[in-house]
Amino acid sequence: MLTTTEQRLTAIREWLSQHQIDALLVPHEDEYLGEYVPAHNERLHWLTGFTGSAGAAVITQEKAAIFVDGRYTVQVTKQVPAELFEYRHLIEEPALDWIKENVANGASIAIDPRMHSSAWLNAAQAKLAGAFELKILDTNPIDQIWHDRPEPFVSEVRLMPTDAVGQSSESKRKEVAELIKQAGADSAIITALDSVCWLLNVRGLDVSRLPVLLSHAILHSDASVEFFLDPARLPADFESHVGPGLSVHAPEQLQSRLEALQGKQVLLDPAISNAWFKLVLQNSGASVVSAADPCLMPKAAKNDVEIAGMKACHIRDGVAMTKFLCWLDSEVASGNLHNEATLSDTLESFRKEDPTLMDLSFDTISAAGSNAAMCHYNHENQPEPGQLEIDTLYLVDSGGQYLDGTTDITRTIAIGQPNEEMIKQFTLALKGHIGVARARFPKGTRGYQIDTLARQHLWAEGYDYDHGTGHGVGHFLSVHEGPASISKKHVDVPLLEGMVLSNEPGYYRADAFGIRIENLELVVEKQTSGDFPVLAFESLTRCPIDTRNINVNMLTRPELAWLNDYHQKVWDDISPLVEGEVKEWLRAATQPLTHA
């Protein structure tokens, strides 16, 4: 009897045969190209059984391969049958390279253009030109075969009043419309879910961990907007909330409204919009202006109301974290070494005590011992969650989506007595964290110019970490918000006052332990005695850093002063909101340190 995966693979091969196509490429992405894919769009999971957040598969009549990155090399072997799929590395051997090696020249390769960005399609056409026929599909074969496909989750449309977000939708649309004009365009297609919701001051929960609505918008240079969402979902006061110049269309009308842009200059972000948009526009006689989503920079630079909300929710989130860490220390002292799932659920229960919590901001990374050496570890993707062990480290990376902001925090906790090597590596990572937190830099500075501050102390000892130092964070929106970042990548985006970015250097020793220290930082302006003001970071996160992991004598006096000052702020903001043993735990955790 065939397994479910075999049955689905066979069905795809029958489809290939019926349509005289040689291969089908199935990415993890859906038509929104977002970080999170709702259950009804998990096509790669349906086909292969793989539950990771990045990957692709290629199916031919004779072969099938699944492509995953280094995070999932172990997981894929447990979820995807080796007798059905070859395992390949997504970065080292991308799907198109595998196709060139394993599929005969002249073969037809089918793709759904909604599942790939415009930039990807351009690169794919160039790479396969002359050797393969890239067949652009009108419909996705998996959607035709997936008979028990879940219904999309339809959430309540939440209208965000101006006093909660600081700027009306009408004002935002006028501001962005000017950027559209500056780009030489008549209209812009807004495809990023968080951009649409930011622009219209709405939120939803259509996608787990991302407070958005599955929708699209077309913004014109006169600031009028076409919004594509089932009109039946919208509250009665939606039109007055958004302001004049709004028209609402059913999603099925999107293609006809794009075709109506014939002869117009239409801005489209090739990096984050799917290729179908570009194809429809070009076939309709519109001229596509390839440029960044004009909402990105205004959205990233938070206004005063958004900043106040971010500060407030970080204090409440700090209360939840403090309660959790106090509970964890008490449990360990009592000999109760829980598993990763219990720890994750307990932390979530503390966050849920806050009625403004709408969701987590991502799946909690709850990693005990050597599991923390995998920087994107997920206990839910393992055969069974790992268990705390004495004299090790526990890493927890988590966050919440609150009505007034989004949080993201990582703490690495001593379980018993960490050894000297753990303490050394933690202190090196902490020195890098403090280096970023204390940075002063001129306006116009890019994130990659800051990144060295986080790595310098690890580099000096011959160590590094294989992820970025910081990502942007939205205001009750995406926890991974573009366009700014802090990493080795030369992202040509300046850090602006009001941006919120993470500061999360770490260290990972395979099969041994993992360390990460993460706060969120607000970019602020500082007056100087020199010729011009500079930018700096203000830490938003309010939660103790585990001093049991620190070799104080490795810290310079300014570094130690920063740490003690940070802990004083944590005490000042959190202690009035906790009591009893939690307050006593916090008092001990924030005591000033001194050099020996």
Please report which confidence band the pLDDT of residue 380 belongs to, taking 50, 70 and 90 as the band edges. confident
173-221 per-position pLDDT tens digit: 999 999 999 999 999 999 999 999 999 999 999 999 999 999 999 999 9
Q: According to CATH, what is the number of the domain 5-145?
A: 3.40.350.10
Outline which parts of the chain fall under CATH 3.40.350.10: 5-145, 158-298
75-124 per-position pLDDT tens digit: 899 899 999 999 999 999 999 999 999 999 999 999 999 999 999 999 99
**pLDDT of the residue at 2:** 62
- 153 φ/ψ sector (left φ>0, alpha ψ -120 to 50, else beta): beta
Contact criterion met (CB below 8 Å) for 176 and 219:
yes
* Distance from C-alpha of 333 to C-alpha of 14, rounded to nearest angstrom: 60
**pLDDT of the residue at 376:** 82
Asked whether residue 35 carries a pLDDT value surpassing 90, the answer given is no
**pLDDT of the residue at 286:** 98
When pLDDT is averaged across residues 508-522 and rounded to a whole number, the result is 97
Matching residue, tokens 């700090």: 318
Asked whether residue 23 carries a pLDDT value surpassing 80, the answer given is yes
What average pLDDT does the chain have? 96
Residue type, 463: Y
Outline which parts of the chain fall under CATH 3.90.230.10: 301-587
* Distance from C-alpha of 53 to C-alpha of 211, rounded to nearest angstrom: 18
Cis peptide before 483 (omega within 30 of 0): yes
Contact criterion met (CB below 8 Å) for 432 and 454:
yes
Q: Are strands 365-368 and 392-398 parallel, antiparallel or unpaired?
A: antiparallel
Cα 310 versus chain centre, distance: 17
Contact criterion met (CB below 8 Å) for 222 and 64:
no
**pLDDT of the residue at 383:** 78
> Where do runs of H (alpha helix) occur along 43-88?
43-48, 75-79
Contact criterion met (CB below 8 Å) for 227 and 200:
yes
Instruction: Look at the alpha carbons of 284, 289, 290, 293 in this order and tell me if their dihedral is positive or negative.
Output: negative
Asked whether residue 381 carries a pLDDT value surpassing 90, the answer given is no
Compute CA distances 424 → 420, 428, 466, 549, whole Å: 6, 6, 19, 8
448-458 per-position pLDDT tens digit: 999 999 999 99
Asked whether residue 1 carries a pLDDT value surpassing 60, the answer given is no
Residue 93 per-residue DSSP state: S
- For residue 568, the surrounding DSSP H or E stretch is helix 557-574
Cα 571 versus chain centre, distance: 30
When pLDDT is averaged across residues 252-277 and rounded to a whole number, the result is 97
pTM of this structure? 0.95
The CATH architecture assigned to 158-298 reads 3-Layer(aba) Sandwich (3.40)
CATH superfamily of 301-587: Creatinase/methionine aminopeptidase superfamily (3.90.230.10)
